[in-house]
């Protein structure tokens, strides 16, 4: 399929520096200095603090004589007010560098604070694409889940509480100066967080691989991410202290983030967002629920790609028709979800069937994500996918 790419211009976004490896958190002071930081705002949430993940960061900063203050007010699927409040703290405390430590929620809040350090107003003023006039304050991101890949993307996702919807700020200024990916920070994730965030990374890899905006760059990264997640997510889920599995999951999540940061996403995310806002389910879980149903729907739009996905996930497609091979990708995902004990049926989560029309409305609000999706969707199609997922 790669010959189709000759007619495309490839644009690839990535942070300046990506440091991946065991115990790389200990290098943070050095990175802060390199990017001109003297007084750091650590942006995190209470769960990350309770898991004692700020300790290695603090000890590096103390050893490097770098001053810091902690903002631990991040909430999951962060509402915009959490970003605005953090930005006020950044100014009031006289900080000059933002250090996000946590899952995607903390990293996205860190991005918003960095942007508001130099751009006036509230973060909701900047939802959309390329609406910020200025680059933000220097920023370093350290993921503790594996994960959203937010440490390497140019987007931040927030909850607009007034509109009861998720919204996004897309800007190259949301790229970190440095991403420090230390798998030791992910060892403490409980199995359900490992499962949800690991499936989020898988969805990134799959959605970008079948996206109309995929490129040679995003393909290479997405392919490797799919293989690694299929191989290592079960072990990381079953044995959280397995550093090898955690290393490969951290790497895979970062690769998948680099892939979708340029190749884009699709209908899985569009249909997952309303589940998150309506029922306060985690982003990864909602993606995992919708994934096999949207994959099956999408197959006619890109059967070759889905057949390849089956192979990346370890299926032997030799001797099967193209459509059968593509179906094997859905089968592989269902098997992975079974292994990590994640149900992909909405009724298992106590969602009332009467809510389906409201979910369809919510999914249609995300129609921008249907553009790169390999198969077009009408309102009726969205309705039938939700019914299938029910």
Q: Residues in the site for ligand NAD, rule: CB under 6 A?
A: 45, 47-48, 51, 53, 76-77, 102-106, 108, 144-145, 147-150, 153, 155-157, 185-186, 188-189, 193, 197, 200, 282-284
Contact 284, 215 (CB under 8 A): no
Instruction: Give whichever of 40 and 54 is closer to ligand NAD, judged by the CB atom.
Output: 54
Instruction: Give whichever of 144 and 298 is closer to ligand NAD, judged by the CB atom.
Output: 144
CB of 253 to ligand NAD, least distance (A): 9
CB of 151 to ligand NAD, least distance (A): 8
In angstroms, the CA 215 to CA 26 distance is 35
Helices 104-116 and 80-92: crossing angle, nearest 10°? Answer: 50
CB of 100 to ligand NAD, least distance (A): 10
Q: Which residues of 26-58 are buried (b: 16+ CB within 10 A; e: fewer)?
A: ebbbebbeebebeebbbbbbebbbebebbebbe
Q: Which residues of 310-324 are buried (b: 16+ CB within 10 A; e: fewer)?
A: bbbbebebeeeeeee
Instruction: Give whichever of 131 and 387 is closer to ligand NAD, judged by the CB atom.
Output: 131
Instruction: Give whichever of 144 and 302 is closer to ligand NAD, judged by the CB atom.
Output: 144
Q: Show Cβ contacts of residue 296 under 8 Å, excluding neighbours closer than 6 positions.
A: 327, 330, 388
In angstroms, the CA 35 to CA 55 distance is 22
CB of 162 to ligand NAD, least distance (A): 17
Instruction: Give whichever of 146 and 325 is closer to ligand NAD, judged by the CB atom.
Output: 146
CB of 46 to ligand NAD, least distance (A): 7
Instruction: Give whichever of 153 and 302 is closer to ligand NAD, judged by the CB atom.
Output: 153
Contact 267, 298 (CB under 8 A): yes
CB of 77 to ligand NAD, least distance (A): 4
In angstroms, the CA 373 to CA 267 distance is 6
């Amino acid at each position: 399929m790669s010959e189709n790419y000759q007619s495309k211009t490839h644009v690839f976004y990535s942070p300046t520096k990506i440091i991946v490896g065991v115990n790389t958190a200990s290098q943070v002071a050095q990175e802060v200095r390199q990017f001109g930081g003297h007084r750091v705002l650590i942006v995190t949430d209470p769960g990350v603090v309770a898991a004692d993940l700020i300790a290695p960061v603090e000890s590096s900063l103390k050893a490097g004589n770098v001053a810091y203050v902690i903002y631990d007010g991040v909430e999951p699927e962060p509402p915009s007010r959490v970003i605005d409040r953090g930005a006020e703290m950044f100014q009031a405390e006289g900080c000059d560098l933002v250090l996000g430590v946590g899952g995607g929620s903390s990293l996205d809040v860190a991005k918003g604070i960095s942007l508001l350090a130099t751009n006036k107003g509230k973060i909701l003023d900047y939802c959309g694409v390329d609406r910020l006039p200025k680059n933000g304050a220097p920023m370093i991101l350290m993921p503790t889940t594996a994960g959203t890949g937010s440490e390497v993307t140019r987007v931040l996702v927030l909850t607009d509480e007034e509109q009861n919807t998720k919204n996004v700020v897309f800007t190259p200024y949301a790229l970190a100066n440095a991403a420090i990916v230390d798998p030791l920070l992910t060892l403490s994730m409980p199995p359900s967080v490992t499962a949800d965030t690991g499936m989020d990374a898988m969805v990134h890899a799959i959605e970008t691989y079948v996206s109309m905006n995929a490129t040679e760059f995003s393909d290479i990264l997405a392919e490797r991410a799919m293989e690694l997640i299929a191989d290592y997510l079960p072990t990381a889920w079953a044995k959280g202290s397995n550093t090898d599995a955690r290393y490969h999951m951290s790497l895979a999540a970062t690769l998948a983030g680099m892939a979708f940061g340029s190749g884009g996403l699709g209908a899985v995310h569009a249909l997952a967002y309303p589940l998150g806002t309506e029922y306060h389910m985690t982003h990864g879980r909602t993606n995992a629920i919708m994934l096999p149903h949207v994959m099956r729907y999408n197959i006619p739009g890109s059967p070759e790609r889905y057949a390849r996905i089956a192979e990346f996930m370890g299926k032997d497609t030799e001797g099967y028709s193209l459509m059968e091979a593509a179906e094997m990708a859905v089968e592989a995902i269902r098997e992975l979800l079974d292994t990590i004990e994640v149900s992909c049926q909405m009724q298992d989560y106590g969602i009332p069937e009467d809510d389906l029309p409201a979910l369809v409305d919510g999914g249609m609000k995300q129609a921008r994500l249907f553009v790169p999706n390999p198969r077009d969707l009408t309102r009726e199609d969205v309705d039938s996918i939700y019914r299938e997922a029910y």
